[in-house]
Homo-oligomer: A and B are copies of this chain.
Amino acid sequence: MKVVVLFSGGKDSALASILLEPFFDVELATFAFGPYDTDGAAVEAAKVLNLPHRTIVFDDEVLEEALRMLQAAGYPRDGLNLLHRRALEILSRDEEFLADGTKREDRVPMMTPDGVRSLEDRNNVHYIRPLAGYGSKTINALASSYMDFETLNSELRPASDFEVGLRMALVERFGQDEVTRIFPALHMHTRVIRRKRI
């Protein structure tokens, strides 16, 4: 059985993939917006993990819809949830098993229980959250056992997550002030730099 894991290049989605690997053929998928090549970190991390990877570019209107939600709300939650949902819907067209690295303490992105049921039933897919039953402390212990990773400021070295692309679009169109209005000042992310075999 094959599973496609939403992958940002960070420790959580990497650990989710490692937990699935004994039971599935794991493929990593990173979503990006047409104008911005944000998938570099994920491509590198996938090589380090030695797992197949592909980048999927959202249709332009998805970025527009997400930006409208961000700007209307003034905070990123709804826009990030939209992108997460859209990404899973797109994968559902061709895949049977989907997964991501969302964990027990995560609040965004997060589907509602009804949203999960709807995704699975409408598309006849299985949506798996391997880290849903793991707390941050446990994830850090396991991640440290299976990989080396570093924590980075996304302004200096961009992550391959949704937030980086959204920030780029906001800066380009509306300037840094609009980013500052909507997003927290600092966007840190983790990046896998070595896989350990134990």
Would you list which residues of chain A between 11 and 68 have a CB under 8 Å from chain B? 19, 22-23
Residue of B23, B120, B131 near A19 (CB, 8 A) is B23
Q: Determine the chain B residues whose CB is within 8 A of the CB of A131 once the complex forms.
A: 133
Query: A102 CA to B133 CA in the complex, in Å?
Result: 9
B19, B117, B133: the one within 8 Å of A129 (CB): B133
**Number of copies of this chain in the oligomer?**
2
- Total interface residues on A, CB under 8 Å, equals 25
Q: Does A9 contact B (CB under 8 A)?
A: no
Q: Is the CB of A133 within 8 A of B132?
A: yes
Interface residue from B116, B120, B133, B141 paired with A130 (Cβ < 8 Å) = B133
Tell me if A128 and B137 are in contact (CB < 8 A).
no
* A127 contacts chain B at the CB level, 8 A cutoff: yes
